[in-house]
Amino acid sequence: MSWSHYFEILKADNNLEIEFYTKQCEKENWSVRELRRQMKSMLFHRVALSKDKEGVLAIANKGAEINQPSGIIKQPYVFEFAGIPEKYPFLEGELEEKLISNLEAFLLELGKGFAFIGRQYRITLSNRHFYVDLVFYHYKLKCFVLIDLLCGVQHKN
């Protein structure tokens, strides 16, 4: 890691967070730009909220080890790169358009192993057609990941 990596990591709040970002940089080979993005999106805190304390300590000591499919899907996702204000009531079509126009950043937020397949992908079940907003393939899990965007705002036509 470069001096710039250490300079950014030392801005963290506590030793556990510093260890976490250091191990993740080493394991994931993050650029300084990616490290800044992960720290700004509070990856450490999101992992801490989704896992037990011993799990976070283990991640800080040896990096994130993914043993189950549930470990690959983050909760929650942070889409700051889409440029939509936090309190702005947007339509799912707007969100989809923003995510597609920022596909590289979106794939980085999803995590390792995701490959983009398509958008508004038609799926037929029992002779009924459905359209999935975004379709990805996860090469480690060897399965498709279907994302149906749902925004809580309903607009009348």
User: Which region among 48-57, 79-88, 94-103 has the lowest average model confidence (pLDDT)?
Assistant: 48-57
Name the more confident of 127 and 150.
Answer: 127
What percent of the chain has a predicted confidence (pLDDT) above 70?
71
Place of tokens 């037929």: 124
pLDDT band at 128 (very low <50, low <70, confident <90, very high): very high
pTM of the predicted protein model: 0.42
Is the pLDDT score of 157 beyond 70? no
What residues have CB less than 8 Å from 45, skipping those under 6 apart? none
C-alpha span between 149 and 68 (Å, rounded): 24
CA-closest candidate to residue 120, choices 96, 154, 94: 96
Q: For the residues 75-88, what does the mean pLDDT come to?
A: 66
Q: Over 50: is that where the pLDDT of 40 sits?
A: yes
Distances (CA, A) of 137 to 28, 105, 107, 112, 140: 20, 17, 11, 11, 9
Question: What are the residue ranges spanned by the domains of the chain?
Answer: 3-65, 80-147
